[in-house]
């Protein structure tokens, strides 16, 4: 493809969620504050994943669910992985991912991108995966237990989950509704469930994983408000790997103690004999 055809192709897409450099052309990211956000997310959960594997994903097979334009699949390729399979419910994103990988000259046998619903697609047709990228997706679905079980069937070791969270206290799934016309959102279901951090841990443990929640220490929170508050976290879940190598990065999965206000109300109820 000549450069003008590449520029035309880049601009034919309704929205880019990432700023890629494609043969000297930058994809027009819809929200420029997200350039920093994605860099910070990489330092937050992708670098610890690399650390767990001694600095390289050499020889690893990756499943990237809700892969969008292939940003995280590309990080995996650049970290040396053997193969990545990315799936997204929107054909536009699969087309973007293929354009990115073709333009970057990634060998054809190192990747496949497919359009499909993660709940319907047979991942096993692409073999077993050492690592699953489950980024930016858990809060756009409403069957998180089913999906975790499905992941565990094809995953031999690690799942990294990066998700918006409900800030309710305890292991809860909070019901929300979201429009389907935003290409970052759910594809097939308007009702979605936001998990609390304890719910994420319980769901992963139920499928046989050890779970560590990572504490964010962004150097710049521009475009990343939810990470700065308690509204988003990343979790590294392992079937085999020893997560203790990352213990200095761990956040607390314990329930936060009740606030003074809640304890005060509790005391009043007790005095009244209601509790």
Ligand X SMILES: C[S@@+](CC[C@H](N)C(=O)[O-])C[C@H]1O[C@@H](n2cnc3c(N)ncnc32)[C@H](O)[C@@H]1O
Binding site for ligand X (CB under 6 A): 66, 68, 71-72, 87-90, 93, 117-118, 135-137, 140-141, 183-184, 186-188
For ligand X, the closer CB: 121 or 172:
121
Q: Are strands 111-115 and 83-88 parallel, antiparallel or unpaired?
A: parallel
Residue number, 183 or 251, with CB nearest to ligand X:
183
CB nearer to ligand X: pick between 131 and 141: 141
Q: What would the DSSP string read from start to end of 160-204?
A: EEEEE----SSS-EEEEE--TTSTTS-SS-SEEEEEPHHHHHHHH
Q: Torsion angle, CA of 43/131/240/169, rounded to 10 degrees?
A: 60
Taking the complex as a whole, the smallest distance from the CB of residue 225 to ligand X amounts, in Å, to 15
Beta bridge partners of 97: none
Q: Cβ contacts of residue 140 below 8 Å, gap of 6+?
A: 66, 178, 184, 185, 186, 192
- Shortest separation between residue 85's beta carbon and ligand X, angstroms: 13
Q: How far is the CB of 91 from ligand X (least distance, A)?
A: 10
Closer to ligand X by CB, 177 or 271: give it: 177
Minimum CB separation of residue 230 from ligand X in Å reads: 19
Please list, in sequence order, all residues whose beta carbon lies within 8 angstroms of the beta carbon of residue 191, skipping any fewer than 6 positions away: 142, 175, 176, 177
Yes or no: say if 131 and 157 are a contact pair by the CB < 8 Å rule. yes
Task: Return left, alpha or beta for 232; rule: phi > 0 is left, psi -120 to 50 is alpha, else beta.
Answer: beta
Pair 100, 127: CB distance under 8 Å: no
Q: How far is the CB of 228 from ligand X (least distance, A)?
A: 18
120/248 with CB nearer ligand X: 120
Question: Considering the complex, what minimum distance in angstroms separates the CB of residue 265 from ligand X?
Answer: 37
Rg for the chain (alpha carbons), in Å?
20
Nearer to ligand X, 136 or 195 (CB): 136
């Amino acid at each position: 493809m000549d450069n003008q055809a590449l520029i035309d192709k880049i601009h034919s897409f309704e929205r880019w969620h990432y700023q890629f450099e494609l043969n000297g052309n930058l994809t027009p990211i819809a929200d420029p504050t997200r350039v920093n956000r994605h860099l910070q997310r990489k330092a937050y959960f992708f670098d610890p994943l690399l650390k767990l594997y001694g600095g390289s994903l050499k020889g690893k097979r990756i499943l990237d669910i809700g892969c969008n334009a292939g940003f995280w699949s590309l990080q995996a390729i650049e970290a040396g992985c053997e193969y990545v399979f990315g799936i997204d419910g929107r054909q536009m994103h699969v087309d973007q991912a293929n354009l990115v990988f073709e333009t970057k000259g990634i060998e054809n046998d190192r990747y496949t991108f497919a359009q499909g619903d993660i709940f319907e697609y047979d991942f096993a047709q692409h073999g077993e995966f050492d690592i699953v990228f489950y980024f930016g997706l858990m809060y756009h679905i409403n069957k998180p237990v089913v999906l975790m079980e499905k992941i565990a069937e094809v995953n031999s070791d690690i799942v990294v989950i990066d998700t918006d969270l409900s800030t309710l206290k305890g292991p809860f799934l909070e019901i929300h509704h979201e429009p389907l016309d935003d290409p970052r959102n759910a594809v097939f279901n308007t009702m979605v469930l936001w998990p609390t951090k304890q719910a994420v841990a319980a769901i992963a443990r139920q499928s046989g994983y050890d779970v560590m929640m990572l504490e964010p220490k962004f150097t710049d929170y521009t475009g990343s408000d939810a990470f700065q508050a308690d509204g988003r976290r990343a979790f590294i879940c392992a079937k085999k790997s020893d997560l203790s190598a990352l213990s200095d990065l761990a956040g607390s999965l314990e329930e936060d103690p009740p606030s003074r206000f809640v304890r005060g109300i509790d005391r009043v109820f007790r005095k009244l004999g209601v509790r």
